[in-house]
């Protein structure tokens, strides 16, 4: 069994946090944009909720590759 160096563990945790931050930011942006558009169209609360959910899914799809890139960049540097 190999021992884990504390600096390497910290670097891994920082990379994971960076990746999830990018992913969460993309999802929050997309859902907020979808909510604003639905409210501007004066949609019903059910329509707004549905658009927010679609925005979250769209943000996940768009930000996933960027979050993986962030993970790699933080681990590499």
User: How many domains are contained in the chain?
Assistant: 1
7 in a structural domain:
no
Q: Look up the domain containing 39 and give its range.
A: 15-76
Rg of the chain over Cα atoms, rounded to whole angstroms, equals 17
Cα 63 to Cα 55: distance, rounded to the nearest angstrom: 12
pTM value is: 0.83
4 in a structural domain:
no
- Per-residue pLDDT tens for 13-55? 999 999 999 999 999 999 999 999 999 999 899 999 999 999 9
23 in a structural domain:
yes
33 in a structural domain:
yes
- Cβ-based neighbour number of residue 47 at 10 Å: 13
């Amino acid at each position: 069994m190999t021992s884990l160096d504390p600096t390497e563990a910290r670097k891994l945790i920082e990379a994971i946090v960076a990746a999830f931050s990018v992913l969460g930011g993309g999802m929050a942006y997309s859902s907020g944009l979808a909510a604003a558009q639905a409210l501007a169209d004066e949609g019903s609360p059910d329509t707004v909720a549905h658009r927010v959910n679609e925005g979250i899914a769209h943000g996940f799809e768009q930000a996933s590759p960027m979050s993986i890139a962030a993970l790699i960049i933080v681990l590499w540097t």
